[in-house]
Structure 1
């Protein structure tokens, strides 16, 4: 299958919508982390985290578009969200030196990932219905 310019533009649009859908709840979580959990963050740290969130949302959107293109299977849609959330949410496990001490923070990060990717899916489904 040859990918046309129209397909690439649609992928860019879907990726951009998904990146925005990921970024909004992520910024809320970042604010809550800072206010209630006392997490300090530098300007460079914030830039890196926000950039990672935008890239994650964009890649999810492009992948989701192709995964569910001709299939309305809800398990496939849920599985895509779960796969992205688990990959993103479990990465800090590899970096943690004390899993028991970090369990609370790791579970919060995993939950944040699920919620952010679910927001992407819901917005993409909503925009798909409007077309």
Structure 2
């Protein structure tokens, strides 16, 4: 019988990666919101903080879920690989999916797409920071990379 690489220990490590990534995504998103609020006093402002707690909670939930899924996927995708193109590809894939959805929404509700393009760039910043956080956690041994070679039963 073939042994699956998805052991309970691997699942725990994936949850740790997802939790760390979700936490990092929320932190980076909040920092970007504060920076954006500061920029709101200048003529280049594109948006402000969400005006209601419900809107802010929805944004935070979306970022947290995206971060969690990114962390789990990133750990699985890179395994023990040090290929920077693979790592960047995972970041770009998640950034494009989230960012293009935001741009598409922008096209549907307004003629001004610049705020939505900036939100897409924001997604790239969030996932890039998550990559740095996860890479550091893997290097320091806080997370274990996904094992590609399982011992024979």
TM-score by length of 1: 0.90
Distance 2:59 2:9 in 1: 31
Query: Which residue, out of 31, 36, 42, partners 2:34?
Result: 31
CA displacement at 1:67 relative to structure 2: 0.3
CA change 1:34–1:41 in 2 (3 A) is farther
Corresponding residue number in structure 1 for 2:131? 121
Corresponding residue number in structure 2 for 1:101? 112
Please say if residues 23 and 64 of structure 2, whose CA atoms lie closer than 8 Å, have aligned partners that are also in contact.
yes
Corresponding residue number in structure 2 for 1:81? 91
Query: Which residue, out of 2, 11, 16, partners 2:14?
Result: 11
CA displacement at 1:3 relative to structure 2: 1.6
SS of aligned partner of 2:108: coil
Structure with more helix by fraction: 1
Structure number with larger C-alpha Rg:
2
TM-score by length of 2: 0.78
Query: Which residue, out of 64, 68, 73, partners 1:58?
Result: 68
CA displacement at 1:32 relative to structure 2: 3.3
**CA-atom RMSD in angstroms:** 1.7
